[in-house]
Amino acid sequence: MITVAEAQARCLALAAEVSLPSEQVPLADAAGRVLSAPARATRAQPPFSASAMDGYAVAATSVAPGDSFEVVAEAAAGHAWGGALKPGQAARIFTGAPVPEGAHQVVIQEDVSRDGDRITLLPSLGNGPNIRPLGADFGMDHSLTAPRRLGPAELALLAAMNVPEATVRMRPKVALLATGDELVMPGGNPGPDQIIASNVFALKAMIEAAGGEATIMPIAPDREDALQAIMEDMRFADLAVTIGGASVGDHDLVAKVGARLGLEQSFYKIAMRPGKPLIAGQFGEGRPYLGLPGNPVSAIVCGYLFLVPMIRQMLGESDVLPAPLTARLAAPVGANGPRAHYMRARMHEGTNGREVTAFDRQDSSLLTVLSEANCLLIRPAGDAAQPAGAAVTVLPT
Ligand SMILES: Nc1nc2c(c(=O)[nH]1)N[C@H]1C(S)=C(S)[C@@H](COP(=O)(O)OP(=O)(O)OC[C@H]3O[C@@H](n4cnc5c(N)ncnc54)[C@H](O)[C@@H]3O)O[C@H]1N2
Ligand code: MOO
């Protein structure tokens, strides 16, 4: 069995072989997409020297309380005054307005007393010029580099750069296939020996949050011919994912049927709990494949550690693995076995920094426990029992 790190490296290598085309999308639809080509500004921001405050633009290189100016003009945002101030003159000005030629600073209106067309600077006078120079945010030559995930700040920046559409990587299409005669979709009519298919919904949400497009395939029964037919229908996808049927039981058919369809395995089984029977590989044409274990928590933890990073890799991002944090144990934990254990746990900020408590019940079928967890506490393979206060590694979920 290979380690989690080795399995992650192999999964990312499989994903790196996928090359997705780019598309243009309007900024309003580009949230969460990954920019795939640099975007260039077609103007500077601000495109003129702009007032940062409401007040008076004054024609003087230095000012002192008691100085007095004649107000000869007015400039507001979107309404420049085209003239030039002479020494001793001022223009009434508002935030965002172009600063007139000849003005050296803007005095805020709170620091001014006005009498008709004359202003006099008050003792409260501040010292800032209150002027945003042309191009203070970015110049004409500015470019937003790719790859880059477009969050609120990037979208606003692109808009300010007058870039109406972003060139983004197309979303990888991910097919999700749950297998097992015992499974019925939510709202269906389960027999007494059946359960509801649950983990596909978690995985679909994770895929979509990572920037992929998930399609839930019909549930495949535990019959080779039917499983093969539905697995063949996953050919449209950039990444095919099966759930369940990965272990060693007589009805665990995924690896067998996969091989018949030309699946080349990269690995099968990892030294990890939950998630031991994970399969990764590739169908012809370089399309990656991930076979997740069926237990709901196993599938979701593997989704977090392997599937989401693969999607992010396909989108061209770097640093795609979940970022670990350090914490201290709030309660002791027992010795770990031969597989790295990703324990469902809850962390919080304590008086001495981040503290984490593992849940007592760690069975990989327990969705109630997973839903109370906000992190995975990583126990290395063969780790000894650890006392409260020991430093540990956690992955926020
Ligand atoms: N003799 C052994 N038995 C098992 C081993 C082993 O090493 N030797 N490994 C165990 C581990 S660890 C896991 S994890 C499971 C994984 O097995 P499969 O991937 O073959 O999953 P299934 O057997 O199909 O299902 C396991 C469990 O999860 C339920 N399930 C399956 N799919 C879904 C779904 N979409 N939504 C909700 N629940 C699902 C299924 O009913 C089973 O209860 O194997 C162990 N056995
Ligand atoms: O490894 Mo299984 O995924 O523990 O339940």
DSSP letter string over 202-215?
HHHHHHHHHT-EEE
Peptide bond into 152 cis (omega under 30): no
Nearest to 240 by CA among 225, 261, 222: 261
User: Quick one: fold of 4-20+170-314?
Assistant: Molybdenum Cofactor Biosythetic Enzyme; Chain A (3.40.980)
Distance CA 282, CA 240 (A): 9
Alpha-carbon distances of 201 from 39, 191, 197, 198, 208, rounded to whole Å: 35, 21, 8, 6, 11
- Architecture of the domain spanning 26-42+139-169: Alpha-Beta Complex (3.90)
Report the C-alpha gap between 378 and 263 in whole angstroms. Answer: 31
- b/e for 108-147, b at 16 or more Cβ within 10 A? bbebbeeeeeebebeeebeeebbbbeebeebeeebebebb
ipTM attached to this prediction:
0.97
Is 212 touching ligand 1 by the criterion CB < 6 Å? no
pLDDT for the residue 284: 76
Widest CA span in the chain: 95
Q: How far is the CA of 172 from the centre of ligand 2 (A)?
A: 27
Whole-model pTM: value is 0.93
Q: Are 59 and 31 in contact (CB under 8 A)?
A: no
Cβ neighbours of 221 (radius 10 Å) = 17
Instruction: Write down the H helix ranges in the chain.
Output: 4-16, 152-160, 199-210, 224-232, 254-260, 296-302, 308-314, 367-372
Report the CATH superfamily, name and number, of domain 50-132. Answer: Molybdopterin biosynthesis moea protein, domain 3. (2.170.190.11)
Residue 213 CA to ligand 1 center (angstroms) comes to 26
pLDDT along the chain (397 residues), means of 10: 97 97 98 98 97 98 97 98 98 98 98 98 94 97 96 98 98 98 96 97 98 98 95 96 90 91 95 97 91 97 98 97 98 97 97 96 98 98 97 97
Q: How far apart are CA 138 and CA 154, in angstroms?
A: 13
Degrees to nearest 5, angle at CA 213 with 210 and 214: 100
Determine if ligand 2 sits within 6 Å of the CB of residue 199: no
Q: How far apart are CA 251 and CA 269, in angstroms?
A: 17
Q: Which CATH superfamily is domain 325-396 in?
A: MoeA, C-terminal, domain IV (2.40.340.10)
Å from CA of 325 to ligand 1 middle: 30
Segments making up each domain of the chain, as ranges: 4-20+170-314, 26-42+139-169, 50-132, 325-396
Question: Which ligand has an atom closest to residue 297 CA?
Answer: 2
Q: How far is the CA of 252 from the centre of ligand 2 (A)?
A: 14
